[in-house]
Amino acid sequence: MANEDQDLELDVNDDKNEGKTSGGLGKGKLLIIIGIVLVISLAVAAYFLFFGDDKKTEDTKEEVEVVEKKEPPEYIGFPQPITANLPGASKNRTVQIKMTFMVRGSDSVAEVKKHMPRLKNDVLMLVSQQTADILQTPEGRVELQAKALETVQQTLTELVGKPLVEKVLFVNFVMQ
Protein backbone atom coordinates (compact mmCIF):
# COMPACT_ATOMS: atom_id res chain seq x y z
CA MET A 1 0.00 0.00 0.00
CA ALA A 2 2.80 2.28 0.62
CA ASN A 3 3.75 1.86 -2.94
CA GLU A 4 0.32 2.82 -4.08
CA ASP A 5 0.35 5.96 -1.92
CA GLN A 6 3.69 6.89 -3.31
CA ASP A 7 2.43 6.32 -6.81
CA LEU A 8 -0.52 8.54 -6.09
CA GLU A 9 1.67 11.22 -4.76
CA LEU A 10 3.85 11.02 -7.80
CA ASP A 11 0.83 11.23 -10.01
CA VAL A 12 -0.37 14.27 -8.14
CA ASN A 13 2.99 15.92 -8.49
CA ASP A 14 2.97 15.12 -12.20
CA ASP A 15 -0.47 16.73 -12.52
CA LYS A 16 0.79 19.87 -10.78
CA ASN A 17 3.79 20.08 -13.09
CA GLU A 18 1.57 19.57 -16.13
CA GLY A 19 -0.71 22.37 -14.97
CA LYS A 20 2.20 24.73 -14.62
CA THR A 21 3.54 23.95 -18.06
CA SER A 22 0.15 24.10 -19.74
CA GLY A 23 -0.62 27.33 -17.87
CA GLY A 24 2.69 28.77 -19.05
CA LEU A 25 1.90 27.77 -22.61
CA GLY A 26 -1.57 29.26 -22.25
CA LYS A 27 -0.12 32.61 -21.19
CA GLY A 28 2.34 32.52 -24.08
CA LYS A 29 -0.45 31.74 -26.52
CA LEU A 30 -2.51 34.54 -25.02
CA LEU A 31 0.35 37.04 -25.48
CA ILE A 32 0.87 35.92 -29.08
CA ILE A 33 -2.85 36.30 -29.85
CA ILE A 34 -2.93 39.76 -28.26
CA GLY A 35 0.14 40.76 -30.27
CA ILE A 36 -1.41 39.55 -33.54
CA VAL A 37 -4.68 41.37 -32.83
CA LEU A 38 -2.74 44.53 -31.99
CA VAL A 39 -0.72 44.36 -35.24
CA ILE A 40 -3.85 43.78 -37.32
CA SER A 41 -5.64 46.67 -35.59
CA LEU A 42 -2.72 49.01 -36.27
CA ALA A 43 -2.60 47.93 -39.91
CA VAL A 44 -6.34 48.58 -40.37
CA ALA A 45 -6.07 51.98 -38.64
CA ALA A 46 -3.11 52.95 -40.83
CA TYR A 47 -4.99 51.91 -43.97
CA PHE A 48 -8.02 54.05 -43.12
CA LEU A 49 -5.82 56.93 -42.06
CA PHE A 50 -3.91 57.06 -45.34
CA PHE A 51 -6.34 55.58 -47.86
CA GLY A 52 -9.79 55.80 -46.31
CA ASP A 53 -10.59 59.43 -47.28
CA ASP A 54 -10.97 58.83 -51.03
CA LYS A 55 -14.36 60.59 -51.28
CA LYS A 56 -12.97 63.93 -50.09
CA THR A 57 -10.00 63.59 -52.42
CA GLU A 58 -12.25 62.82 -55.39
CA ASP A 59 -14.47 65.83 -54.57
CA THR A 60 -11.42 68.07 -54.43
CA LYS A 61 -10.20 66.75 -57.79
CA GLU A 62 -13.60 67.47 -59.34
CA GLU A 63 -13.54 71.03 -57.96
CA VAL A 64 -10.07 71.58 -59.40
CA GLU A 65 -11.23 70.30 -62.78
CA VAL A 66 -14.17 72.72 -62.71
CA VAL A 67 -11.84 75.63 -61.95
CA GLU A 68 -9.46 74.60 -64.73
CA LYS A 69 -12.26 74.59 -67.30
CA LYS A 70 -12.33 78.41 -67.42
CA GLU A 71 -11.92 79.87 -70.83
CA PRO A 72 -8.52 81.42 -71.59
CA PRO A 73 -8.23 85.14 -70.90
CA GLU A 74 -8.60 87.63 -73.71
CA TYR A 75 -7.40 91.22 -73.57
CA ILE A 76 -9.25 94.23 -74.91
CA GLY A 77 -7.36 97.51 -75.09
CA PHE A 78 -8.81 100.99 -75.08
CA PRO A 79 -8.67 102.41 -78.61
CA GLN A 80 -6.79 105.50 -77.36
CA PRO A 81 -5.11 106.24 -74.03
CA ILE A 82 -7.00 108.24 -71.40
CA THR A 83 -5.52 111.69 -70.93
CA ALA A 84 -6.50 113.98 -68.07
CA ASN A 85 -5.26 117.11 -66.29
CA LEU A 86 -4.77 116.56 -62.57
CA PRO A 87 -4.39 119.15 -59.82
CA GLY A 88 -1.29 118.85 -57.65
CA ALA A 89 0.00 120.50 -54.48
CA SER A 90 2.86 122.32 -56.23
CA LYS A 91 1.63 122.29 -59.84
CA ASN A 92 -0.93 120.71 -62.11
CA ARG A 93 0.10 117.66 -64.11
CA THR A 94 -1.12 115.75 -67.14
CA VAL A 95 -1.54 111.99 -66.96
CA GLN A 96 -1.83 109.58 -69.86
CA ILE A 97 -2.95 106.02 -69.14
CA LYS A 98 -3.30 103.21 -71.66
CA MET A 99 -5.53 100.47 -70.23
CA THR A 100 -6.42 96.92 -71.18
CA PHE A 101 -9.27 94.79 -69.83
CA MET A 102 -8.94 91.07 -69.15
CA VAL A 103 -12.11 89.09 -69.95
CA ARG A 104 -12.96 85.44 -70.61
CA GLY A 105 -15.03 84.26 -73.56
CA SER A 106 -15.85 85.67 -76.96
CA ASP A 107 -19.31 86.76 -75.79
CA SER A 108 -17.69 88.87 -73.08
CA VAL A 109 -15.30 90.40 -75.61
CA ALA A 110 -18.22 91.41 -77.84
CA GLU A 111 -20.19 92.91 -74.93
CA VAL A 112 -17.22 94.91 -73.62
CA LYS A 113 -16.40 96.25 -77.09
CA LYS A 114 -20.04 97.15 -77.59
CA HIS A 115 -20.06 99.26 -74.41
CA MET A 116 -16.50 100.64 -74.73
CA PRO A 117 -17.54 104.32 -75.12
CA ARG A 118 -19.49 104.21 -71.84
CA LEU A 119 -16.65 102.38 -70.06
CA LYS A 120 -14.09 104.90 -71.31
CA ASN A 121 -16.29 107.76 -70.12
CA ASP A 122 -16.69 106.28 -66.62
CA VAL A 123 -12.96 105.57 -66.27
CA LEU A 124 -12.09 109.07 -67.56
CA MET A 125 -14.39 110.58 -64.92
CA LEU A 126 -12.68 108.45 -62.26
CA VAL A 127 -9.17 109.49 -63.37
CA SER A 128 -10.19 113.16 -63.49
CA GLN A 129 -11.17 113.03 -59.81
CA GLN A 130 -7.65 112.00 -58.73
CA THR A 131 -4.79 114.27 -57.71
CA ALA A 132 -1.27 114.22 -59.12
CA ASP A 133 0.25 113.77 -55.66
CA ILE A 134 -1.64 110.52 -55.11
CA LEU A 135 -0.90 109.07 -58.56
CA GLN A 136 2.84 109.76 -58.25
CA THR A 137 3.13 106.93 -55.71
CA PRO A 138 2.94 103.24 -56.65
CA GLU A 139 0.25 102.74 -53.99
CA GLY A 140 -1.83 105.50 -55.60
CA ARG A 141 -1.62 103.81 -59.02
CA VAL A 142 -2.61 100.43 -57.54
CA GLU A 143 -5.54 102.11 -55.79
CA LEU A 144 -6.60 103.77 -59.07
CA GLN A 145 -6.36 100.41 -60.84
CA ALA A 146 -8.64 98.82 -58.21
CA LYS A 147 -11.12 101.71 -58.44
CA ALA A 148 -11.10 101.47 -62.24
CA LEU A 149 -11.90 97.75 -62.04
CA GLU A 150 -14.73 98.45 -59.62
CA THR A 151 -16.11 101.23 -61.86
CA VAL A 152 -15.94 99.08 -65.01
CA GLN A 153 -17.58 96.13 -63.26
CA GLN A 154 -20.38 98.32 -61.88
CA THR A 155 -21.04 99.81 -65.31
CA LEU A 156 -21.09 96.42 -67.02
CA THR A 157 -23.34 94.95 -64.35
CA GLU A 158 -25.69 97.86 -64.89
CA LEU A 159 -25.65 97.45 -68.69
CA VAL A 160 -25.31 93.69 -69.20
CA GLY A 161 -26.11 92.12 -65.83
CA LYS A 162 -22.62 90.67 -65.28
CA PRO A 163 -19.26 92.26 -64.41
CA LEU A 164 -17.44 90.46 -67.33
CA VAL A 165 -14.06 92.20 -66.72
CA GLU A 166 -11.72 90.36 -64.32
CA LYS A 167 -8.79 92.81 -64.35
CA VAL A 168 -7.90 96.29 -65.47
CA LEU A 169 -4.27 96.46 -66.56
CA PHE A 170 -2.29 99.67 -66.96
CA VAL A 171 -0.22 99.04 -70.07
CA ASN A 172 1.29 102.52 -70.10
CA PHE A 173 1.24 105.22 -67.41
CA VAL A 174 2.84 108.62 -68.07
CA MET A 175 2.62 111.70 -65.88
CA GLN A 176 4.14 115.07 -66.87
Structural domains counted in the chain: 2
Q: Strand 93-104 relative to strand 73-77: parallel, antiparallel, unpaired?
A: antiparallel
User: Is 152 found in the same domain as 87?
Assistant: yes
Alpha-carbon distance 162 to 35, whole Å? 65
How many whole angstroms separate alpha carbon 100 and alpha carbon 149?
Answer: 11
Same domain membership, residue 56 and residue 77: no
Radius of gyration of the chain (CA): 41
Asked whether residue 53 falls in the same domain as residue 89, the answer is no
Burial code (b: 16+ CB inside 10 Å, e: under 16) for 96-107 equals: ebbbebebeeee
- Integer angstrom CA distances of residue 66 from 29, 44, 60, 61, 129: 56, 34, 10, 9, 41
- Identify which has the larger pLDDT, 77 or 2: 77
Q: What pLDDT, in 10s, does the model give residues 58-111?
A: 555 565 555 557 899 999 998 899 999 999 998 999 999 999 999 999 999 999
Task: For residues 112 and 166, state if they share a domain.
Answer: yes
pLDDT confidence tier of residue 173, bands split at 50, 70 and 90: very high
Domain end marker among 30, 45, 67: 67
**Does the predicted model carry a pTM greater than 0.75?**
no
Partnered with residue 83 across adjacent β-strands are 96
Residue range of the domain that includes 113: 73-175
pLDDT at 25: 63
